[in-house]
Amino acid sequence: MDSTRPDSGTIAERHRSKHREATADVEFGAWIDGERRTGGPKQGIEDPVIGESIVDVPQSDAGDVDDAVDAAWDTFEGGWEDTTVRDRSERLFEWAEVLADHVEELTLLECLDCGKPISQARGEVEGAIDTLEFYASAIRGQRGSEVPAGEDLHLYTKREPYGVVGQVVPWNYPLWAAAWKLGPALAAGNACVLKPASDTPLSTVRAAQLSAGVFPDGALNVVPGSGSEVGQAIAEHEEIRKVSFTGSTGVGSGVMRAAADRVAPVTLELGGKSPFIVFPDADLDKVVQAVADGIFYSTGEICDAFSRALVHESIADEFTERFVEAAESYVLGDPLDEETTMGPLTSKSQFETVTDYVETGKEEANLLCGGGRPDDPELTDGYYVEPTVFDGVTNDMTVGCEEIFGPVQTIQTFESYDEAIELANDTQYGLASGIGTESTSLVHQTADDLDAGLVYVNEYGPIMPDAPYGGFKRSGFGKDLGLEALDHYQRQKSVYVNL
């Protein structure tokens, strides 16, 4: 395993200096009704590379959620609901432009806060901007419909925003995930109250501040705070008319129960344990890297990670050998270094969770590579875990069926098509799946048979705002992204007119 070194000083020195640079001109805190809130208890936001706080962020509470909801309704009823699509589109484009002017600042915050390699952090910030631009365009093309209903009747349908919507996002791609929710919700004319994950609020809070003057005060509110208080308050709030949640299946089902009490619709993007089926005719030059990127991108902290490679037995030896080589080629190092391809896990608790899974895997299966922390003494304060690969795995093992959310790959073999599909679908989840083959007919047959909301063929990603993104089964329902997400932020009304 290679590791990278900063040009000068230790990693800790370089990071402390970057903490000062990234936070010098910004006061973090809730963004409510177009103003910063800086009171209340503070939480240190940890840099997972050196285990030290980047900055203290004032934490919102349930009272702040009430204030944000009140401000959002005032704005919605005070004129936001009557804005034209052209107006909202132009404002979203304007916000995207402001964020584009601050790409490097937001990238640095994301990199420091999550430990993401800087090139990945930049790509995700750019992805967030692209998402806002997509919805700024898409809303201009939306139409209602006219229904032929007879001579005396004019029957048409129209779409309306819900009013105030609540949104809760996780820590693995903070700003990008926030844009997936804010873009369609604002484009559709809702006012938003969004909670970032308590470990990673910095980029989203900063992006909200950068919306000052773009949207009317109160249209976009961000409340950083704990899930148990702020997230729960959003899920339960009587005046929040729709909730969109991304996170774990356990918390997501609780959000759904809370929203059910007031019959508020929810969108849930939840966990995954996604298979990638490698058929005998697969081009391993493409597929090995696709599966590796699918599990090692973002240190495996991705909901659609290809965490289960299902490989035809005739090519299993070659695939496994090449996959281990690919795993060992990731460069663990300082995420600030452009050469680094894998950073640490995002938090200490995540490090402990993943390390526990790795230890369980060593008892259950056969460790092929990784399985510990990198040797580099400069990385020992960070939450680094080596790319880890197990074979001899079965679906009933803990590492074969539970979402690890770290850089841990399992390899299983299959003999027949039916066995591959059975293994792939034998999971409570259904977010993503992958196929490695050069056969067009096999692609279509397998895409039909896989019980998952996303199918990638011979590649991992890219995620485009143009297409709906979301899972089946316990991976959730409703969609982020695509025109479908706009639908989820709108109510449809049928109007019967007999004049």
- Judged by the rule CB under 6 A, the positions of this chain that interact with ligand TAP are 168-172, 195, 197-199, 226-228, 231-232, 235, 246-248, 251, 254-255, 269-272, 303, 403, 405, 431, 471, 475-476
> At closest approach, how far in Å is the CB of 216 from ligand TAP?
26
Query: Closest separation between CB of residue 79 and ligand TAP, Å?
Result: 30
Active site residue 111: no
**CA 279 centroid distance within chain:** 29
CB 166 to ligand TAP: min, Å: 9
Q: Is 146 a catalytic residue?
A: no
Other CB atoms within 10 A of residue 416 CB: 10
Pick 303 or 310: Cβ nearer ligand TAP: 303
Coil vs helix vs strand at 446: helix
Rounded least distance, CB 177 to ligand TAP, Å: 6
Q: Please, which residue, 254 or 468, has the CB nearer to ligand TAP?
A: 254
Q: Going edge to edge, which strands form the sheet with 490-497?
A: 145-147, 154-161, 490-497
Q: How far is the CB of 215 from ligand TAP (least distance, A)?
A: 22
Q: Report helix angle 85-101 to 118-138, nearest 10.
A: 160
DSSP per residue, 290-344 = HHHHHHHGGGG--TT---EEEEEGGGHHHHHHHHHHHHHT--BS-TTSTT--B--
Q: Cβ 234 to ligand TAP, closest distance in Å?
A: 6
Give residue for tokens 């774990």. Answer: 248
CB of 218: closest distance to ligand TAP in angstroms? 22
Q: Pairing state of beta strands 366-369 and 388-391?
A: antiparallel
* Least distance between ligand TAP and beta carbon 201 (Å): 9
Q: Which is nearer to ligand TAP, 246 or 412 (CB)?
A: 246
The residue among 89 and 246 lying less far from ligand TAP, judged by its C-beta, is 246
d(CA 383, CA 343): 8
Q: Which CB sits closer to ligand TAP, 231 or 370?
A: 231
Quick count: other Cβ atoms within 10 Å of Cβ 19?
19
Q: Give me the catalytic one of 105, 269, 301, 378.
A: 269
| Amino acid found at 232 | Q
Q: Is the peptide bond before 377 cis (omega within 30 degrees of 0)?
A: no
| Cβ proximity to ligand TAP, 397 vs 431, nearer residue | 431
448 contacts: CB under 8 Å, gap ≥ 6:
none
Q: How far is the CB of 385 from ligand TAP (least distance, A)?
A: 16
Nearer to ligand TAP, 266 or 324 (CB): 266
Which of 110, 114, 303, 378 is catalytic? The answer is 303
Is the CB of 176 or the CB of 323 nearer to ligand TAP?
A: 176
Q: How far is residue 344's CA from residue 139's CA, in Å, rounded to a whole number?
A: 38
Radius of gyration of the chain (CA): 23
Nearest by Cα to 346 from 385, 383, 293, 374? 383
Nearer residue to ligand TAP within complex by CB, 184 or 333: 184
Starting at the edge strand that comes first in sequence, how are the strands of the sheet with 366-369 ordered?
Answer: 366-369, 388-391, 408-414, 308-312, 275-278, 432-436, 454-457
Q: The tokens 């961000």 sit on which residue? A: 222
Q: How far apart are alpha carbons 458 and 464 in whole angstroms?
A: 17
b/e per residue, 65-85, with b = 16+ CB within 10 A?
A: bebbbbbbbbbbeeebeebeb
Q: CA-CA distance, 262 to 184, in Å (whole number)?
A: 23
Active-site residues, by number, are 269, 303
